[in-house]
Amino acid sequence: METGFVGLGNMGLPMARNLLQAGHRLTVYNRTRGRAEELAKSGAQVASTPAAGCAHGVVMTVLSDDAAVESCVWGEGGILNALPKDGVHICLSTISTDLSRRLAEAHSARGQHFIAAPVFGRPAAAAAARLIVVAAGPPEAIERCRPLLEPLGRKVFVLGPDAPAAHTLKLAGNFLIASMLETLAEAFALLRKSNVDPAKLLEIVNGGLFQSPVYENYGRLMLEERFEPAGFALRLGLKDVRLVLRASETAAAPLPIASLIHDRLLSALARGQGDLDWSSLARVAAASAGLDR
């Protein structure tokens, strides 16, 4: 298939590479053109605006936040005015449920289709095509674009026709990961203060208690303090927790733990950790326990 691809950051670049390797033809746009030029060597066409990637009727976006998505969709040279009737916008970003609904409505009003398809996984999983894709939107559009979604990961979950549901689920999933980071950081701090090797807890957790690659991967990052380069920057984790709190308010579904994690992430941001991996939340737990003195 021929498709536009907008956003070549830590996640977008490897995802675009996998699509090219799967035989798809891409027209790519990135605010920093050098990233797009990297893909030109693999056969991608480089666009000067997001709109230039819409000519073939499908465009995929992988952008960092609501503001970036809004700019690429509604801004000058944006997607909404350029995408033809019956065209499809696939949003792979983690954005607010509110923006997801606005996008679905705006595209529908123009006879276009919107697919929410956020992904679970870090850059290494993106490079290995091991992401989990959660898709929602018009069923016929999802089936039409399934050949673009499947090369990105190991599983595509289709939720149904309501596109914002996928973004709500993605935010709920990131809330679970953030909760794990906080509790694991606290447990490690307790063990360190008690002169017990926290690596033993991680061994037991992954040897039978939970057996989760999420615990294994993040636990190793915490134990080894490998917070740079960030697979997922802490400032983006804070953004996602803000979004899940906004969704909880809209749904009148209190998330008291999310409020606590928000403040812990904010403390980490105040400590200058915004560009570190969000597993550096461990430093906040350590500081609270007096371990950074």
> Using CA atoms, how far apart are residues 192 and 292, in angstroms rounded to an integer?
11
Amino acid letter for position 143: E
Q: For the chain, how many residues are written?
A: 293
192, two tokens:
């360190």
- Spatial neighbors of 95 by CB under 8 A, at least 6 apart, are 65, 66, 69, 118, 167, 243
8 Å CB contact between 85 and 118: no
8 Å CB contact between 88 and 115: yes
Q: Identify whether 170 is a catalytic site residue.
A: yes
- Spatial neighbors of 38 by CB under 8 A, at least 6 apart, are 8, 13
Q: Catalytic pick from 41, 85, 155, 170?
A: 170
How do strand 119-120 and strand 88-91 relate by DSSP bridges? unpaired
How do strand 119-120 and strand 131-136 relate by DSSP bridges? antiparallel
Give the end-to-end CA distance of the chain in Å, rounded to a whole number: 57
Query: Which strand (E) or helix (H) includes residue 203?
Result: helix 198-204
Active site residues: 170
